[in-house]
Amino acid sequence: MKLYDFSMAPNPRRVRIFLAEKGIEVETEQVDIPSGENIAPAFRAINPRALLPTLVLDDGTVIDESVAICRYFEELHPEPPLMGTDAKSKAVIESAQRHMEWDGLMPVADAFRNGNPAFADRAVSGTEGVPVIADLVDRGKSLAGRFYDSLNSTLGESEYVAGDSFSIADITAFCVVDFAKWVQIRAGDEHPHLQRWYAAVKARPSSGA
Amino acid sequence: MKLYDFSMAPNPRRVRIFLAEKGIEVETEQVDIPSGENIAPAFRAINPRALLPTLVLDDGTVIDESVAICRYFEELHPEPPLMGTDAKSKAVIESAQRHMEWDGLMPVADAFRNGNPAFADRAVSGTEGVPVIADLVDRGKSLAGRFYDSLNSTLGESEYVAGDSFSIADITAFCVVDFAKWVQIRAGDEHPHLQRWYAAVKARPSSGA
């Protein structure tokens, strides 16, 4: 199998950290997003949606979407569990993971892509001919600020994003926090729980993946 | 347990159809979104994100996000399987399901909320003080058009959205297609495979849930 990757982008990083936590090694190939390598015909022939990460299995099956790729590896290599172990924990972690995506990753991505000249005509990942909407920069930053406040509150009540155990929800949140620095959004003194958690996740060997 | 629901909204409908396919009955309570009942203090005390559907378990655990709620029931009631049965089918279905959300549901929701006076100051679900961005109506409609073309192609190659079996990906796609009618987006004669599939899903008893 092969994992199509781009080292600087937040979504491929989610999968790399997940694999590092599991101790799994997969062959990777870099596809450069800013220069448009992902939307060129060669990569669209592999994944018409032109998104990274993309996993291609040995039988040719193409799986994109970070969480779906993680699911594949979670099922094959359940230890250590990162997506829950029973109905309730699986649902709680999936819910929290999606909070990190919808409330955090999406507004930060909106602020990043709609304010970046490299994506002037491809404001939505994988597309061409979609012009930026400047108002989404401010909306994204505003929503990201709310997200930080909410995440800080969550982390004031539990050690990790989805409870007592490190999970895929922490991986998504950690990648959002680092991605947000690209648009000058940072946790501050008013987010002590978030700061405590960030330092703990950063200290894990997987954070460098 | 109790499922907080709103009968007219697309996301709660996804869970209702999922439950109907499984033959599961759950106590429900309606929360009216257009009038703002979901963002009022009484419901925020249940789910601070103010989103529907929200499932509250007997032990008080709160699970929102349609797919996370579906995951809970899939784990407890595996038959009929709607989210896959092994690593590959689970990953393929999760990937396809997310295509339906990101490429279909999100642009249609953007077009709907940013063009609807009832949501003038709450353009993002569960929020207040987030003004609409009119340009998102056209962007959403444009992306939804691409989505229909892509979904039609997918359904020209397989009976269902994620292969040979009906799955949660079909449920999301079916709810997107009905939701899109609210913003005058409809499949046309150029989408024969989509039309064939829609009629088949509509004919299932669960479609009325």
- Residue contact B127–A143, C-beta within 8 A: yes
- Give the nearest chain A residue to B92 (CA atoms): A63
Give the pLDDT confidence of A11-59 residue by residue, as tens digits.
Answer: 999 999 999 999 999 999 999 999 999 999 999 999 999 999 999 999 9
**C-alpha pair distances (Å), B168 with each of A31, A42, A110, B67, B97:** 31, 31, 27, 8, 7
Instruction: Give dist(CA B65, CA A99) in Å, integer.
Output: 8
Tokens representing B42 are 């009484």
Tokens representing B28 are 């429900």
> Strand (E) positions, chain A?
2-5, 28-30, 54-56, 62-64
Across the range A63-85, mean pLDDT stands at 98
Q: How many CA atoms lie within 13 A of B203 on its CB side?
A: 7
Task: Look at residues B73, B191, B169 and name the one whose alpha carbon lies nearest to residue A65.
Answer: B169
B61 → closest Cβ in A71, A88, A146: A88
A94 → closest Cβ in B67, B103, B133: B67
- Give the nearest chain A residue to B75 (CA atoms): A87
Task: Give residue A158's pLDDT band: very low, low, confident or very high (50, 70, 90).
Answer: very high
Question: Which pLDDT score, from 0 to 100, does residue B61 have?
Answer: 98
Q: Which residues of B touch A (CB under 8 A)?
A: 48-49, 57, 61, 63-65, 67-69, 71-72, 75-76, 86-88, 90-92, 94-95, 98-99, 102-103, 123-124, 127, 130, 133, 135-136, 139, 142-143, 146, 150
Q: Which chain B residues are within 8 Å of A75, Cβ to Cβ?
A: 86-87, 90-91
Decide if B92 contacts B163 (C-beta within 8 A): yes
Tokens representing B86 are 């092994």
- Give the nearest chain A residue to B133 (CA atoms): A135
The distance of A135 to chain B (nearest Cα, Å) reads 7
- Give the nearest chain A residue to B93 (CA atoms): A68
- Residue contact A124–B142, C-beta within 8 A: no
CB atoms inside a 10 Å sphere around CB B167:
25
